[in-house]
Amino acid sequence: MVWTPLNSMGKGNSYLDRYWQRGCEFLGVDYSILGGAMTWLSERHLVAAMSNAGAFGVVASGSMSPDQLSEEIRETLTRTDRSFGVNLITMHPELMALIDTCLDHKVSHIVLAGGIPPARAISRIKDAKTKVLCFAPNLSLGRKLVSRGVDALIIEGMEAGGHAGPVSTSVLAQEILPNIRDVPVFVAGGIGRGEAILSYLEMGASGCQLGTRFVCATESIAHPRFKEAFIKASARDAVLSIQLDPKFPVIPVRALANQATARFIETQRSVIEKFRSGKVDQKDAQLEIEHFWAGALRRAAIDGDIESGSMMAGQSVGMVSREQSTCEIIQELLEQAVTASKARNLI
């Protein structure tokens, strides 16, 4: 069902319109709110629901093959005629083929994530007159990406769920928003309420990206136990993975602490001891640590194994209080933003 925007919310509100007009026009939406690309969950149902509600849904391609992605895009197109994007992981071995799949389906926006995108990937997307967005972890890289022709940037702070950087959202926003004006910049990480969206718009953002807030959307295919864990969790429950030894680096991932979190620490300790005693070499030890989480996100999010799976969640999880439709979530965010602006006599 397509939600008809209310005149008292967001669109038609002069204050919000003024601040996120650039983002809305760039994305082709009523509300400059992007869906965070959550592997397994940001699929046809949730993506279409976000776009139909006036926001911007983003398909998370994850480790999909080109054929799998093609099917996901086709299914999404049957559910919405509104604008949506596709998130591609730059380290995917078939990145260029995945880009071509998006272009074949005339996807309007492609988000390149998970590392510095190769120049040929940006060029391929730009040559097809498709919009390309990239993540900028700092000002220097942001400027470099803009010089390479990227159409928009996303800055994501360490409060975000999943793979997280070392800098908070508020610091990144202060570092980047005043200094990059050439392209739209969207802010992500730990955002769960409309007041925060309003504050980043006032700082110069063209919009915001939210993921965790939509895990418990009615349209989300997350397992009921996964949703229940989110509803019960507080911000402090979403923690970064711990690295015991710098010789064996662990990519920081923010997730709800569970039994697997404790077992991961013990696994690291055991593997490191085996390495020090000469039972395994460093390469095999590193692989054993890295393989611990293989398939763990699907086990939790889709299969409902919330104890041994990976419960990736941002710190905004504490603002998830119940299951709601995507339309209701977006309407709530808009109401909060409008109320905040009214309280300050801004409209």
SS (H, E, C) 115-176: CCCCHHHHHHHHHCCCEEEEECCCHHHHHHHHHCCCCEEEEECCCCCEECCCCCHHHHHHHH
In a domain, 1, yes or no: no
Q: What is the pLDDT of residue 10?
A: 53
In a domain, 162, yes or no: yes
DSSP secondary structure letters along 178-242: TT--SS-EEEESS--SHHHHHHHHHHT-SEEEESGGGTTBTT----HHHHHHHHH--GGGEEEPP
How many C-beta atoms lie closer than 10 Å to residue 236's C-beta? Answer: 10
Alpha-carbon torsion, ordered 134, 140, 143, 147, to 10 deg: -90
Residue 150 to residues 4, 26, 110: CA-CA distances in angstroms?
32, 13, 11
pLDDT at 115 over 50: yes
Q: How does pLDDT run across 146-196, given as a tens digit for each residue?
A: 999 999 999 999 999 999 999 999 999 999 999 999 999 999 999 999 999
Q: What is the pLDDT of residue 315?
A: 98
The candidate with the shortest Cα–Cα distance to 111, out of 78, 152, 143, 70, is: 152
Query: In this structure, are 303 and 164 located in the same domain?
Result: no
In a domain, 218, yes or no: yes
Residues 305 and 311: their CA atoms lie apart, in Å, by 9
How many C-beta atoms lie closer than 10 Å to residue 8's C-beta? Answer: 10
Q: What is the pLDDT of residue 341?
A: 85
Residues 3 and 21: their CA atoms lie apart, in Å, by 20
In a domain, 63, yes or no: yes
In a domain, 202, yes or no: yes
pLDDT grade for 4, boundaries at 50, 70 and 90: very low
Residues 301 and 212: their CA atoms lie apart, in Å, by 12
DSSP secondary structure letters along 78-121: TT--S-EEEEEETT-TTHHHHHHHHHHTT-SEEEEESSPPPHHH
Record the pTM.
Answer: 0.93
Residues 70 and 194: their CA atoms lie apart, in Å, by 34
Dihedrals φ, ψ of 64, to 5°? Answer: -60, 150
In a domain, 8, yes or no: no
In a domain, 34, yes or no: yes
Query: In this structure, are 96 and 239 located in the same domain?
Result: no
Q: Residue 305's domain spans which residues?
A: 234-312
In a domain, 115, yes or no: yes
Average the pLDDT over 92-96 and give the result: 97
Q: What is the pLDDT of residue 12?
A: 57
How many C-beta atoms lie closer than 10 Å to residue 167's C-beta? Answer: 16
What is the percent of the chain where pLDDT is above 90? 92
